Chains A and B, each alone.
Chain A
Amino acid sequence: MRLISRMIGSGGLALGLGLAPAMGWAEPAAAQAAASPAGAPAGEVQVTVLGVTSPFFVFGIVKRLGQIPGVQHVSFNLLHGRADVQLKPGAVVTDDDLRKAVRNASYSFGGIHWIRRPGATDSTTAAGVAAVGQGTK
């Protein structure tokens, strides 16, 4: 029991000290975007993920999307089932990469909305949104 309370304590301490962003899921994507080098705008995409219901299950989808080469940061909005994915400057990530990551996380793919494609100069070049519906197996 002492071990358990010690582990709980260290987890809570990590959050309290602001170490949570280092774990990869607590910092808003907008804050990361500001850190992108000038002249090489980073891509940003929103992925609708169906089936995610609580923070404990957010872990899997954030890790799966974060595994894609070129992804810098992922955050998740539970209410809208939306993953905000921030790419590294110059990184190329395809819709298929995102789709596969969602399925590997054991969730269903709901849609993709590119806020800024890699290399685009402004958000007017955003691509379309895939239809959002129920995902079944």
Chain B
Amino acid sequence: MRCAVRRLAAAAAGLFVALLLAAPARAQITFPSAAPISAGNIIVRTQPTVTDESGGVQSLYDENVVLYGASPDLAFILENKSIVSNSANIVTNGKTAALTATGFGDTVLDTRYNLYELDDIGSTFRVAPYFGIDLPTGMDNTNAFMPRELQPASAAWGTREALTASWQTLFWNAQALIGYQNYASSSGFQPGDSVLADAAFHYMIWPGDLDREVNAEIFASLETNYSLSGIDRMDGAPIAGTGGQLWLVDPGIIYSTPQYAVDLTALLPILQQYRGPGAARYNYGVEAMFRWSFFTYHHW
């Protein structure tokens, strides 16, 4: 009986908190591109990110990505948030408590097909559609007092469809993506669908001479991420403060060699509008990325 009361209290507190403090839609960062992946090439990427939002909401996660070139045109991409730690100052019954939910995040399996390619010496323009499945491999209830949106994972199946284009030259790269993401309901929780629009521009600032074997380059990067999300629902009822739009601008720097690359990017909001009161507002984010390229001769 005591246990049931405690569970009920936890659920009620969770709902109360959810009404007071809901996480806004999060734009994706460092989006998938149509850049070439050789058959048999494996690229491993780890991407630790910290974000800060109002209400003491802080999120730390490490996204790991494995890209595999199955053929010259077909690539598989496995994305997994290995560690997600969300913390927030939660107000319940007039008292504020700092809470944290830490656990494994969800996984996405993407397929990319190189649909159009125009290559020249030192340049390539490519268009590639993506299709991905969100696999609910993460933990969606590591802290019962945290709102569902702040749990490490959504535990919802989903799909994502995107069209991405890359125009790369020796001195600059431009990339763009437009996509749609939707989720199935999980334990009464229905994340809102999202439309995503991303663009990035990388400009080479070093070295000045490419008429030789170049072993490293430094790029200045400017990326922008826009997401428009539908409102999240719990048992069919809308959760205030969820859904809306978030537009980020992300300046950064990239050091790239044939075998590895290191990026550091700041995530700065320039527009955010949410539906209903109670949304945590995005303050800033910082993302580091490390990519390592391997090669296997196994491919289609």
Q: Residues of A with Cβ closer than 8 Å to B?
A: 1, 4, 7-8, 11, 15, 20, 23, 25-26, 28, 48, 50-64, 67, 75-81, 103-108, 110, 132, 134-137
Contact = CB atoms under 8 A, between A and B. Distances in A.
Contacts of B259: 11, 23, 59
A29 to B, nearest CB: 9
B173 interface: yes
A106 B73 contact: yes
Contact of A105 (B38, B116, B121, B290): B38
A59 B168 CA distance: 16
A135 B38 contact: no
B215 A20 contact: yes
Contacts of A62: 258
A108 B293 CA distance: 21
Interface string B17-44: 0000000000000000001111111000
Nearest to B46: A4
Contacts of A106: 36-39, 69, 72-73, 114
Interface in B138-154: none
Given A25-B258, A62-B258, A81 B73 contact: no
B117 interface: yes
A36 B119 CA distance: 35
A79 B283 CA distance: 42
Contact of A80 (B35, B121, B204, B297): B121
Interface of B: 35-41, 46, 48, 69, 72-73, 114, 116-124, 168-170, 173, 204, 210-217, 256-262, 288, 290-293, 295, 297, 299
Given A55-B258, A57-B35, A134-B119, A26 B215 contact: yes
A28 B119 contact: no
A25 B41 CA distance: 16
Given A75-B213, A106-B39, A51 B258 contact: no
B217 to A, nearest CB: 6
Given A4-B46, A106-B72, A106-B73, A56 B118 contact: no
Contacts of A136: 117-119
A60 to B, nearest CB: 3
Given A104-B39, A106-B69, A135 B170 contact: no
Contacts of A57: 35-36, 168
Contacts of B290: 4, 7-8
B276 to A, nearest CB: 37
A45 to B, nearest CB: 17
Contacts of A110: 121
Contacts of A81: 121-122
Contacts of B258: 23, 25, 55-56, 58-59, 62
B41 A63 contact: yes
A79 B210 CA distance: 5
B202 to A, nearest CB: 9
B69 A4 contact: no
Contacts of A7: 260, 290, 292
Contacts of B48: 1, 4
Contacts of A76: 213
A135 B119 CA distance: 5
Contacts of B121: 48, 50, 80-81, 110, 132
A60 B295 CA distance: 8
Given A59-B259, A67-B297, A106-B69, A51 B124 contact: yes
A126 to B, nearest CB: 21
